[in-house]
Amino acid sequence: MEHNFKNIGIEVPEVLLPDKKVNMRKWAVIACDQYTSNETYWKEVERTVGGSPSSLHIMLPEIYLNASDRDARIDNAKQIMTRYIDEGILTLLPQGFILVERTVDRKVRKGLMVMVDLEAFDADPFKKASIRASEEVLEDRMDARIDLRMGAELEMPHVLMLMDDPQFKVIEPIWRKRESLTKLYDVDLMMHGGRATGYLIEDENMEAEILMQLEQLKTRDGMRFCIGDGNHSFATAKAIWEETKEMLSEEERENHPLRYVMCELVNLHDPALPLLPIHRVISGVSSSMCIQYVVDHLNSVGADARLVFSRRKPAVQVTDAPEVLFFTSKSSSGRIEINAPSTKMLIEQLQPVLEDFVREHPLAKLEYIHGDAEFERVTQEYDTLGFLMPAMEKETFFDTLSAMGVLPKKCFSLGEANEKRYYIECRLLSEHEDEPEEELMEESEEFYDEEESIEEIFDEPMPEKTTQKLKEFKIGNLFKKKSE
């Protein structure tokens, strides 16, 4: 009897990849939510890509979230999606998982491109869903993503979904057989992204073995997977599906494209997948004033906080306090000892205090810094104070998430910015009729002329922007903390 794996929420995808004529190095671009304050990075990407077919042209880098031409960029991206399909720039693969190798600094991270049923996802832990969010989302980053996905022909995944597989039973057995699989792409990624290699898994026995091993993974209160990176993109897909399905019959809901989202499934215990902290930095105001503010507010809620100045590195500072918050600036450094912590995580106690501070001091700016080297560089600037956050432990990550329901925003990072997913694979979000092959080849020639700019290729006027009903959907209702 055929086994039914519907209960785990994972299905075999049908993936679109660029035609073999496309320059894959120009096609693959880093996730939209990286380098959001580094305009130089994105200008260099634009210079590298030019007018060639590229995922850059069908996405919205978040550095442009507040740009005056944001809506025009989104409309243009949707038009180009349609062109890429109509002109044969993208081709549909046989149905199958894709094994992904990502090599950065000689470390190889292994992943699996899968299709996720959004009906198996819920951020409310009391609903005991198989798939849950890991972090709270910021609603001000949702509008543009909703505008881009709603009515779009394509999705490009940058979501990394985590599983807890300490015995390496899901991906590694397939990875050891990768030479027997069809290699789909093998590309050096631009801008120090390392290398990405993809293999098609279309053997039904391999697929069944993967699904069986996924079904056997340990669950916590019903949770088998969580969204490790790309919580905002996943929340966008969920919100659109919740709105869309209200207009569909039960039969139409069953296999509607918007019911699903494609992700890269990765093992939390992969040695090449770092679980890094995201540090907090306050700039634009006196460091000493901010330090005292934090101490005073912690004490006002009974945390019994004690301020200790020290020039020693955090690793060699000795303390018996249950919780310690290390800080540094150009003029001072030390620690805040918290003798009566009232939260499960240090970041959970600190975050609301810092948010209160920037609300009360309009000149202050709260920033989230990835990487110790960047943290050290930034905190040597004047009027800048940094709080060094501890890393989460892989062994207790899923247990902590299950106990808390949802982790505080910007709690962890799966690697440095250049290690994040590059857009390569696509998936259809709507039905699309095939056109005669001869006509497609004739019409697609202009896309391979690398000297043309994207403006020269797509010079027709933009359609008028329509108001999306989804803007009124309460995204915050999807992501709730577990009640104490």
Residue 468 located in a structural domain = yes
Residue 152 located in a structural domain = yes
Six-digit token pair at 333?
A: 């450094």
338 residue type, one letter: I
Pairing status of strand 305-309 against strand 260-267: unpaired
Residue 396 located in a structural domain = no
Q: How many whole angstroms separate alpha carbon 354 and alpha carbon 241?
A: 34
* Pair (166, 17) in one structural domain: yes
Please give the average per-residue pLDDT across 283-287, as a whole number: 94
Bigger pLDDT: 409 vs 480? 409
Residue 450: predicted pLDDT:
44
Q: Which of 70, 156, 122, 153 is nearest to 235 (CA)?
A: 122
Residue 137: predicted pLDDT:
83
Residue 436 has pLDDT above 50, yes or no: no
pLDDT bracket for residue 481 (50, 70, 90): low
Q: Which of 139, 65, 74, 79 is nearest to 465 (CA)?
A: 74
Residue 438: predicted pLDDT:
46
Least confident of 140-144, 386-390, 455-459: 455-459
pLDDT bracket for residue 451 (50, 70, 90): very low
Residue 410 located in a structural domain = no
Residue 452: predicted pLDDT:
40
Residue 415 has pLDDT above 50, yes or no: yes
Residue 139 has pLDDT above 70, yes or no: yes
Residue 264 has pLDDT above 80, yes or no: yes
Rg (CA), the chain: 23
Mean model confidence pLDDT for the chain: 89
Please give the average per-residue pLDDT across 79-91, as a whole number: 97
* Pair (427, 451) in one structural domain: yes
Residue 98 has pLDDT above 80, yes or no: yes
pLDDT bracket for residue 267 (50, 70, 90): very high
* Pair (154, 233) in one structural domain: yes
Residue 379 has pLDDT above 60, yes or no: yes
Residue 439 has pLDDT above 90, yes or no: no
Q: How many whole angstroms separate alpha carbon 192 and alpha carbon 419?
A: 9
Q: How many whole angstroms separate alpha carbon 109 and alpha carbon 419?
A: 10
Cα distances (angstroms) measured from residue 328 to each of 277, 378, 379, 388? 16, 10, 7, 8
* Pair (253, 300) in one structural domain: no
Q: How many whole angstroms separate alpha carbon 77 and alpha carbon 81?
A: 6
68-73: long-range pairs with CB below 8 Å, 24+: 70/144, 71/147, 71/465, 72/462
Residue 408 located in a structural domain = no
Residue 297 has pLDDT above 50, yes or no: yes
* Pair (92, 138) in one structural domain: yes
Residue 169: predicted pLDDT:
98
* Pair (148, 247) in one structural domain: yes
Tell me the CATH number at 293. 3.30.1760
Residue 36: predicted pLDDT:
84
* Pair (53, 177) in one structural domain: yes
Contacts of 171 (CB under 8 A, 6+ apart): 99, 110, 111, 112, 165, 265, 266, 267
Bigger pLDDT: 260 vs 482? 260
Residue 12 located in a structural domain = yes
pLDDT bracket for residue 482 (50, 70, 90): low
* Pair (54, 92) in one structural domain: yes
pLDDT bracket for residue 223 (50, 70, 90): very high
Which residue in the block uniquely carries the two structure tokens 């669950």? 219
Number of neighbouring beta carbons within 10 Å of residue 401: 25
Bigger pLDDT: 299 vs 3? 299
pLDDT in tens, 391-407: 999 999 999 999 999 99
* Pair (112, 63) in one structural domain: yes
DSSP 233-264: HHHHHHHHHHHHGGGS-HHHHHT-GGGEEEEE
pLDDT in tens, 19-60: 999 999 999 999 999 998 788 999 999 999 999 999 999 999
Residue 348: predicted pLDDT:
94
Percent of the chain with pLDDT over 70: 88
Bigger pLDDT: 303 vs 125? 303
Number of domains in the chain: 2
* Pair (438, 460) in one structural domain: yes
Residue 483 located in a structural domain = no
pLDDT bracket for residue 470 (50, 70, 90): very low
* Pair (343, 457) in one structural domain: no
* Pair (383, 470) in one structural domain: no
Domain boundary among 376, 391, 406: 391
Q: How many whole angstroms separate alpha carbon 149 and alpha carbon 155?
A: 7
Q: Please, are residues 145 and 232 in contact by the beta-carbon 8 Å criterion?
A: yes
Six-digit token pair at 22?
A: 């496309």
pTM for the whole thing? 0.87
Residue 433: predicted pLDDT:
53
Residue 235 has pLDDT above 80, yes or no: yes
Residue 476: predicted pLDDT:
42
Residue 251 located in a structural domain = yes
Residue 9: predicted pLDDT:
96
What is the residue range of 306's domain? 276-391
- The phi, psi pair for 47, rounded to 5°, reads -65, -40
